[in-house]
Amino acid sequence: MPKISSSLVDTEWVAENLNDNSVVVLDTSVPPVVPGYVPINTEDNFSVIPGARRFDYDGVVCKPNSSLPHMMPTAELFQEEVRKLGVSSDSTIIVYDDVGLYASPRAWWMFRAMGHEKVAVLNGGLPKWISEGRGSVDAYAEVALGNFVANLDENLFCDFEVVLKALDDPSCEILDARSKARFKGEAPEPRPGVRGGHMPNAKNLPFPQVLDGGELKSIVELEEVFANLVEKNQKIVTSCGSGITACILTLAATVAGYKNLSVYDGSWSEWGLPSKLPVVTD
């Protein structure tokens, strides 16, 4: 059974282990809302890594009937849906997306939150796989039911009440993955009716700053990025527009050696709604 030593794997590792029955490859793509991030797949040109299954956390593996996008589901729903994808408790899960490194870190963190440690992100995703001339197919694999068991750790995703308490807690830093212009309220939010600005005392770390194109920056570079913002003994709570790119920061922090991490699930799509939750622009 192949082992993963990090939360990241490269295309060579996937190619070498693709035919291992214990390895499950999941396409976790979500249409990007951030300017400049374009998926390689289109309606006329669609491809997936051979054997991949579709993990749709935007419309299937998410909290049903929520007013907020792709919120974390219950452990019961998560377990039921990933079993349909042939995922078992002993599976080694590789998640990727069709932008490079955009939507896949959230899927990685979801599995971690459900108690599964053997999960990693494909660095560079489908674009790198295709650019290297590796094989692809135009349909997802049909698979038998898995036996995955979900055990939710509620600390890995948090709600606005936890964030509210953390704003004045010196042992915690809130990192916002949105652009500097959105953070300062100088650019409009993509969701109607959402206020501009940021949480008091939050720090801005636009997610492209931890990336090198469609891949994560090196460990040394990431250590430098986070050392300027957070102490190693502090807790990091990440936030963004809707809980997707926050997970890029969480992945980067993990690779940089940080351990006490949580993602604000509702992120700005919740906090920015008209309410008494504090918003500042300075």
Active-site annotation, residues: 240
**257 in Cβ contact with 223 (< 8 Å):** yes
At 47, list the tokens: 């491809």
**154 in Cβ contact with 68 (< 8 Å):** no
Task: Say how far apart CA 3 and CA 1 lie, in whole Å.
Answer: 7
How big is the chain by its Cα radius of gyration, in Å?
Answer: 18
Residues 6+ apart with CB under 8 A from 8: 120, 121, 123, 216, 251, 255
**199 in Cβ contact with 278 (< 8 Å):** yes
**170 in Cβ contact with 201 (< 8 Å):** no
Helix/strand/coil for 172: strand
**6 in Cβ contact with 120 (< 8 Å):** yes
Pseudo-torsion of CA 71, 57, 87, 139, nearest 10°?
170
At 44, list the tokens: 């006329």
Q: What is the number of other CB atoms lying within 10 angstroms of the CB of residue 211? A: 16
Task: Say how far apart CA 221 and CA 72 lie, in whole Å.
Answer: 31
